[in-house]
Amino acid sequence: MKQSKLGFNGRRDFLRIAGASGAAITLGVIPHSLFAQGSPLKIGIVGAGRVGGTLAEFWAKAGHEVLVSSLDAEADRALAAKIGTRARAGSSRDAAQFGDVVLVSVPYSALPKIGQDIGDALRGKVVLDTCNPVPARDGDMAKEALAKGTGIASTALLPGVRLVRAFNCVGVGTLRSETNRAGEKVGIPLAADDAGALAVAERLVRDAGFEPVVLGGLARAKEFDYGTPVFGKGRTPTELRAMFKLG
């Protein structure tokens, strides 16, 4: 079997990585380049606000190519210019089409429209979802999403994507101040049903300057949703593993 630069040996190692991640496993076709730590990814950002813009900057610094989008094309062009040569701006559809991976980082109440408008372009993509249902901002649909858990609710709103719940429970101020800090890094809880998507998300958490903490399948995303004890504070992986009883 041909070995990649990373020592990734194809399906057998894919299964090993998948098993080690603890996720409920769905085997999808993820290109080898998404695993190869040396090769840059193309990342589309749908919702280049505080969180999306910050992660776009971190990932461009780490060598990835980003395409930022929001509802304000001028702001997107300014953000791309500020980030530098690895960034460009476009529409949300452009971001969905551009990305090997797409970060969706919008108010939760915008997710149904995103599913309707660009769901076709997102289908089959690895999607990192930071969106929190906040009843005071997003209304009754947020209460329903929290009752189901966002892993389940977001899957229904973005059908057919390789969804990973990621970067939702650490504030943007902490992302900015604690990226790549010395000592134990801030942990980012992750949940996904698709092991390949999870492996890509783990890589992007590290590339943003944090440490992934994998809970398991999407049903477990509920444990770090808005309003849970872990929500809103930057905690170390050691603290998170204890809180999630991850052994």
Ligand X SMILES: NC(=O)c1ccc[n+]([C@@H]2O[C@H](COP(=O)([O-])OP(=O)(O)OC[C@H]3O[C@@H](n4cnc5c(N)ncnc54)[C@H](OP(=O)(O)O)[C@@H]3O)[C@@H](O)[C@H]2O)c1
In the complex with ligand X, the residue whose CB is nearer, 109 or 236, is 109
What is the C-alpha separation between 11 and 1, in angstroms, rounded? 10
* 153 in Cβ contact with 219 (< 8 Å): no
Tokens read off for 152: 């389940």
In the complex with ligand X, the residue whose CB is nearer, 47 or 237, is 47
In the complex with ligand X, the residue whose CB is nearer, 21 or 132, is 132
In the complex with ligand X, the residue whose CB is nearer, 145 or 195, is 145
In the complex with ligand X, the residue whose CB is nearer, 108 or 244, is 108
What is the C-alpha separation between 225 and 211, in angstroms, rounded? 18
In the complex with ligand X, the residue whose CB is nearer, 113 or 233, is 113
- What is the closest distance, in whole angstroms, from the C-beta atom of residue 95 to ligand X in the complex? 9
Burial class (CB in 10 A: 0-12, 13-18, 19+), 155: buried
- What is the closest distance, in whole angstroms, from the C-beta atom of residue 113 to ligand X in the complex? 5
- What is the closest distance, in whole angstroms, from the C-beta atom of residue 175 to ligand X in the complex? 7
- What is the closest distance, in whole angstroms, from the C-beta atom of residue 119 to ligand X in the complex? 12
Question: What is the CB neighbour count within 10 angstroms for residue 14?
Answer: 20
Which residue number is nearest to ligand X in terms of Cβ?
49
- What is the closest distance, in whole angstroms, from the C-beta atom of residue 134 to ligand X in the complex? 6
* 46 in Cβ contact with 105 (< 8 Å): yes
Residues 6+ apart with CB under 8 A from 146: 133, 135, 225, 226, 227
What is the C-alpha separation between 226 and 168, in angstroms, rounded? 8
Strand partners, 129: 104, 165
Residues near ligand X, by CB under 6 A: 46-52, 70-72, 92, 105-108, 110, 113-114, 130-132, 134, 167-168, 171-172
- What is the closest distance, in whole angstroms, from the C-beta atom of residue 100 to ligand X in the complex? 19
* 36 in Cβ contact with 5 (< 8 Å): yes
